[in-house]
Structure formats: structure tokens, C-alpha cells
Amino acid sequence: MENRKVLKSGEFLVEEVEANDIFIPEEYNEEQQMIAETIKDFLAAELYPNLDQLDSPDIQLMKTILKKSGDLGLMGISLPEEYNGFGQDFVTQMLAAETIGAGYSFSVAFMAHCGIGTLPIMYYGNEDQRQRYVTKLAIGELLGAYCLTEPGAGSDANSGKTQAKLSEDGTHYILNGQKMWITNANFADVQTVFAKIDNDRVLSAFIVERNYPGVVISPDEKKMGIKGSSTAQVFYNDVKVPVENLLGKRGEGFRIALSILHMGRIKLGANVLGAAKKAITDSVQYANERKQFGVLISTFGALKYKMAEQVIRTFALESAIYRVSKDIDRQIELNKIAGMDKGKAAVEGIAHYAVEAAILKVYGSEVLDYVIDEAVQIHGGMGYSAEMAVERGYRDSRINRIFEGTNEINRLLVVDTAMKRGMKGDFDLVGKAEELKANLTKIVETENEGESYYDEKMRTVRNFKRAILIVLNSASNAFGRQFVQEQEVLINLSDMITELYIAESTALRVKKMELIKGESNMAVYRQILDVMIYDAASKIEKNGMDAINSFASGEEAQNLIVAVKGLSSVKGVNVMMARRVIANKLIEDNSYKF
């Protein structure tokens, strides 16, 4: 295992990281690049010519294309070789998820099958269950779905009413209930279904086959976007599920559901990255063809702003995604060294980074919403026409802020999970914060003589961390046990933490890129970093002010405000010229090549 510093989830709040300790996309190996190219070729040959027909919708065509991806081996990237998979590491899984993300509703069906439709059985199933199901799910012989959400239990998954009772002869569980918003429902052969056994307080999980008597699937929902994917309600009417299809232990279902949601969140971050890159390429190619007032619209400053901002946010998202992906790979290896089997080592490694998963789900889905919204705007009236790819992308994007737990819930999770990890002793959150508050007038790090470009960026990042810690600690002390109920303040803090993590990830990536490529090739990337940190500072300051004014007053509020203003202070940036440099590279390349 590489000798690099591995931070625990949320530990970035109190610890520093070196550029050499993170993985960046510029380090992909030849095999990883080949997998990505295979997926791009598959989308170009099998998917893009059929998008209109898929969205009609044509569920059978979707099933056919999914099975073709299975024939190519794309469904087995994350699965061990002994179950017909390719046993790739988490970074490669995320690269595959990113590349598939350019596939509109196909990416939803594909990711649901490969992720939530397959991995619960892989990670929590016994050897018999893996042989019966995972070996076939890995190659598309069977297709999978995940049945958790119920009409009365959306975000509060454990309040579901679906029931399972053991039959008198002890051979079956009798399943009764209803699930909704089930992706792949109308063609999935295998479902992971969550239900409570008897009067249990928590869920259990079951492997249910579509053809079991009593499984009834409604017609597909009519949706705003992702029209090509199957989304339907599923009803269970006295369905007999063999006892050997209980997944994991009785009462372990809620844990399974949460673990799989962490995985789904982080992979959604990769998915939307692929969609954003495609939307940027669509934007610049249109701007490089469309003329107004006798000149190409790509020459207009207003459009350069939009295209540069698309690039900055997407590049920053990518930096954070692959940073945490490598952290997860290292955690999985540590789990194996500690004696866990492959399945448990993987699921525990992914679930460990719950703070970062929630950050990337929120930030990524909102980056894509920004990118695709501006893509439509760059296209003008044509962007509103169904002729253009950006119209489909715009409709498809909106679901990502709801999928895998709403962004509101994930924002709350960022703070709640980080605090719990700190209280548990994973890192010294409280101690660091108390130390800072005791020296409130002296905690702002200022410029040192001879400070290098990257020294200045990392000093700024350290100041961001200090701002967050003093606001977090002060809010927690002010509200006490009621803190978890103060959602507006929690969301302020979550947005501060998110901006910090993305800014730090981007700074570390650009610094490491320079070590690889040399300073002479880094002008445009320094411009990306300059604008990203400059904007992050204002967002951190604004959220900090809003939080402080919600719980403090008088001298305490004034002292905290002065500290946060000082800690979020950054050097001025000529953002107009920086964005023009970034946009000009995009325009020259005529596609996203950052």
C-alpha cells in the first residue's frame, strides 16, 4: 500500500494535506483510460443514435442496450473476478461512473443496476446468494432494482410499512406492502426489498425475484426528465420469499440501506461530472458555430463568463471526486489488512467517507444544474428546442438534487456526521475549535515574506478551516442539544464546509499538476484556482455571517464577525481576465479538455 497520509472522513476540517497525498485525474493509468474510451465508444454507437426512441419511452430498447453493456463487461467493473467481474479499484469505478454520466436516462438505469441493484447482494449476501445472483447481474443476464422508498416514507426510510412474516412451516417470509419511485422496476429480474419482520423496529432486507407470485408492477410514471428510465410502483401481495433470500441478518436492513446510499451519493457525484462535461462541450461547439451581429457568439464577454464558470465549477468538482475516491481505495485496503473480507472491506470503506459523499452529492448536482442551465442559455431559443441535446440534459438534471436523499438532507448530514465523528474521537474537532476561540484575535494567518503562490493558497485554506471551526463550535455551544433542530444554521455551516473541501481539493490538484507538468503549462489552471478560491471566500464569509447573526449578539457576535471576515479575506483577483483566459482555452479546444 502507498505510503501516503490517509485522513478519516471529515478530518480535513482540522488537518492539512499535502499535494502528493492525493490522487488527481492526470494520473490515470492506461487501463483506466482504456475503460473510459470503451464506454465513450459504447455510448456513441449504441446510445446516442437511440435517445429519442428511448425517451418515447421504449423500455424494451433500454433493456436491450443495458444487456449489450453487460456483454461488453461494463456491468462488472466494480465486482470481483470470481463473480464474473473485473475487480477494478474505486477510482476506476468512479471514472466509469463519470463517463456513463454523459448517457442521460441510460446512466440512471445503468447505475441503478450496477450500484443499488447489485451491490447490496455483493456486499451483504452470503456465498450462495452471490453465486445465484451476482454472477448473473455482473454480465446483464439478470437486471437489478432497489426497493426502499414507500408512499408514506420518503426520506424517513425506516418508517416504511412493508411487512414480512415467517410462514408456519418456516420456509418462507410472506411479504406485503408497496414501494414507489423504483428505478428499473418494469424490467428488473431481481429486487432488493426492505421490510420489517413482524413488529421489528428496524428494517430487514430480502432478495425478491420479479416472477414470484404476488409481485405486481404498475405502469411507469410519467416524469419531467430521465424519460427513458423505468420508474414505477411495486406491490407485494402475500409474496412468498424463501428464507434463504433474507439478505444479511434480521434487522440489518437499515444499515444496508444507509451503506448503499453513501455509495449511491458519491457515485452520483461522478455521474453528474460526466453530464456536466458533455454539456460544456455542447455549449462551446454551438457558440463556435452560431453568429450574431456578424460575429461568433463565442467572442462575446458575457458568454465567455458563462463558459468559464462552467469549466471552473466542473474542474473543482472533478478535483474533489478523485481525491476522495483514492482515499476510499486506501481505506478499503486498510480494512482488508484488518481482516475484513472483500465485500465488507469495500462497503465499510465507502461508508466511512459519509461526510465527503454528502458534500459531493450536493455540490455535484448543483454544479450540473448550473452548467446545464447556462448551456441552454448559450443556445438561446434553440436551447429550448427538443432538437438540441441540452434540452434533454436540462430536464434530466433536475432529479439529481432529489435522488439519493434530497440536497437538504445531505446538507444536514455533512454537519451532523462530521460532528459525530469528532465526538467519537476520529479527530479532535472540539479541542481545535476551543483552542481557536481562546485566541480569537490572533487566529488569522497573514501573508509571510517570500510566500509562494501555493503557500498563499494553502494559508487561505487554513484560514477557511479556522472560520468554520469557530462558527461550528460557537453555534453548538449557543444552541446546545437543540442544535440539530436549527436547520438554517446547519445549512450555513454545511455550505461553508463544502466550499472549503472543494477549494482545498482544487488547490491540491493544481499544485500536484504543476509538479507533473511544470509551471510553464499551468497558467490557465492557476486562473481556475484563483477564481475558485476568490469566490469560495465570499460564500464562506456570507454563510458565516448568516450563522453568527442567527445565534449571537452584542460583543460576542462582533468578535466572531471580525474573526470570520479576517479568516475569509483573500487577495483581489481580476476575475474578468481570468475567466477570459479559461474560456479562450475552451473555445480553442472546442470541447472540455481540462
Residues taking part in catalysis: 404
Alpha-carbon span 228 to 62, nearest angstrom: 7
Q: Which of 552, 530, 555, 377 is nearest to 456 (CA)?
A: 530
According to DSSP, the β-strands at 215-217 and 231-242 are antiparallel
d(CA 41, CA 314): 22
C-alpha cell at 333: 485496503
- Contact predicate 83/204, CB 8 Å: no
Pair 162, 193: CB distance under 8 Å:
yes
Q: Residue ranges of the alpha helices (H) in 18-118?
A: 30-42, 51-54, 59-71, 90-100, 104-114
From the centroid of its chain, how far is CA 580? 29
Instruction: Report the distance separating Cα 54 and Cα 225, nearest Å.
Output: 12
Q: Residue 49 burial by CB count (10 A; 0-12/13-18/19+): exposed, middle or buried?
A: exposed
Element housing 241 (H / E): strand 231-242
Grid cell at residue 246: 433474507
> Cα dihedral angle (232, 238, 239, 245), rounded to 10 degrees?
120
User: Could you give the CA distance from residue 559 to residue 553 in angstroms, rounded to a whole number?
Assistant: 10
Q: Any idea of the CA torsion for 238, 243, 246, 248, to the nearest 10 degrees? A: 160
Phi and psi, residue 206, nearest 5°: -135, 150
Residue 120, preceding peptide bond in cis (omega within 30° of 0): no
CB 368 within 8 A of CB 272: yes
**C-alpha Rg value of the chain to the nearest Å:** 24
Cα–Cα nearest to 511, from 323, 376, 249, 237: 323
Number of helices (H), then strands (E), belonging to the chain: the values are 20, 10
Q: Give the span between the Cα atoms of 520 and 565, in whole angstroms.
A: 34
Q: Supply the DSSP symbol for 492.
A: H
SS in 3 state form for 339-368? CCCHHHHHHHHHHHCHHHHHHHHHHHHHHH
Question: Distance from CA of residue 554 to its chain's centroid?
Answer: 40
| Cβ proximity of 303 and 378 under 8 Å | yes
Helix (H, G, I), strand (E, B) or coil at 203: coil
Is the Cβ–Cβ distance between 147 and 179 less than 8 Å?
yes
